Amino acid sequence: MSNGRDKILSRAVKEIEDGMCVNLGIGMPTLIADMIPADVNVMLQSENGLLGIGSYPDADDVDPDLINAGKETVTAKSGASFFDSAESFAMIRGGHIDLAILGGMEVSESGDLANWMIPGKMIKGMGGAMDLVQGAKKIVVIMDHVNKHGESKVKKNCTLPLTGEAVVHILITDMAVFEFTEQGMKLIELQDGVTLEELRNATEATFIVPEQLQ
């Protein structure tokens, strides 16, 4: 795991609180399942029909019938339950998911999220992100701060098709942590080794800098 990704995941797991029902998006967010402290009791929900996801299995414990939404093999905790997708999306749309941690392609300064497709690229389907950003009580997005070309993924306005408008509560990148308030996008933490000047140079969006950073 790269140092930047380790920073992102280590910070993201701090958003998970005891007793929560949490949905982890496809990709980097699924790695968080193995990082939740043993004394934090959470129920991980997957939109393909599993409540009570455990850690990734050892080679000897792989069950091809136990998968998450990203088609990765997982384990089920004691007390887990299984159901169809209709029931799963009823949980999401009904507001029963406390927290969703999702990957992102772009996030705008107003909290818009683009994470479901790149025009011209083959995709398997919409996935559940559009439902999650509307139904979950809190949305945390994790992503690299810049793309492979060095361009900011934290934008004034998203250029990719939107998943949802003004839906992001917390954005965690390898450079910083932001929250979205009525006043605008607010910097709340700098990642270790990152200066404010470096962050400004890497960020297209306008953001508020409080007098005292956490």
Domain boundary assignment for the chain: 3-202
The predicted-structure confidence for 43-78, as pLDDT tens digits, reads as follows 999 999 999 999 899 999 899 999 998 889 999 999
CA angle, corner 34, sides to 91 and 90, nearest 5? Answer: 5
pLDDT of residue 146: 98
pLDDT band at 1 (very low <50, low <70, confident <90, very high): low
184-191 average pLDDT score = 97
Which residues participate in catalysis according to the annotation?
47
- State the pLDDT at residue 119: 86
pLDDT of residue 57: 93
Among candidate residues 193, 194, 177, the one with its CA nearest the CA of residue 185: 177
pLDDT value for 176: 98
pLDDT digits over 101-157, tens only?
999 999 999 999 999 998 888 877 777 999 999 999 999 999 999 999 999 999 999
* CA gap 16, 28 in Å, rounded: 16
Q: How confident is the prediction for the chain on average, in pLDDT?
A: 94
The predicted model gives 15-41 an average pLDDT of: 95
Q: Is the CATH code 3.40.1080.10 the one for domain 3-202?
A: yes
Confidence of residue 2 (pLDDT cuts 50, 70, 90): confident
Both ends of the chain: CA-CA distance in Å? 26
pLDDT of residue 214: 56
Closest residue by Cα to residue 174 from 189, 159, 162:
189
Instruction: For CA atoms 41, 16, 44, 32, give the dihedral sign.
Output: negative
